[in-house]
Amino acid sequence: MKKGKIIILSLVGLLLLAGIIAFVSKKGGGEQINFQTTEVGPGDIASNITATGTIEPVKTVDVGTQVSGIVTRLYVDYNSVVKRGQIIAELDRTNLQSNLSTAQARLRSAQIDLDYQKKNYARYAELKQKDLVSLSEYDVALENFRKAQEAVRIAQQDVARAKTDLSYATVYSPIDGVVISKSVEEGQTVASAFSTPSIVKIAKDLTDMQCIAKVDEADIGEVREGQRVTFTVDAYPEDVFSGTVKQVRQNPVTTNNVVTYEVVISAPNADLKLKPGLTANITIYTLERTGVKSVPAAALRFTPEASVFGWKYVVKDTTAEHKLWTLKGNVLTAHKVEVGVTDGIRTEIISGMEEGDTVIQGFEIGMKAIPGKKDAKKDAKK
The answer, as to whether pTM is greater than 0.75, is no
For position 323, what pLDDT does the model report? 93
**Residue 105: count of CB within 10 angstroms of its CB:** 12
pLDDT tens sequence across 324-366: 999 998 899 999 999 999 988 999 999 999 999 999 998 887 6
Full set of structural domains in the chain with CATH? 33-44+293-381 (2.40.420.20), 50-58+205-288 (2.40.30.170), 60-92+170-204 (2.40.50.100), 93-168 (1.10.287)
**Band of residue 194 on the pLDDT scale cut at 50, 70, 90:** low
Beta-bridge partners for 244:
228
- What does the mean pLDDT of the chain come to? 86
Contact 151, 160 (CB under 8 A): no
Contact 74, 87 (CB under 8 A): no
**pLDDT of 6 above 70:** no
Q: Which of 223-227, 234-238, 302-306, 341-345 has the lowest mean pLDDT?
A: 302-306
Contact 57, 268 (CB under 8 A): no
What value, to the nearest 5°, has the Cα angle with vertex 142 and ends 136 and 147? 125
pLDDT tens sequence across 22-60: 444 444 444 677 889 999 999 999 999 999 999 999 999
**Band of residue 95 on the pLDDT scale cut at 50, 70, 90:** very high
More confident residue, 377 or 344: 344
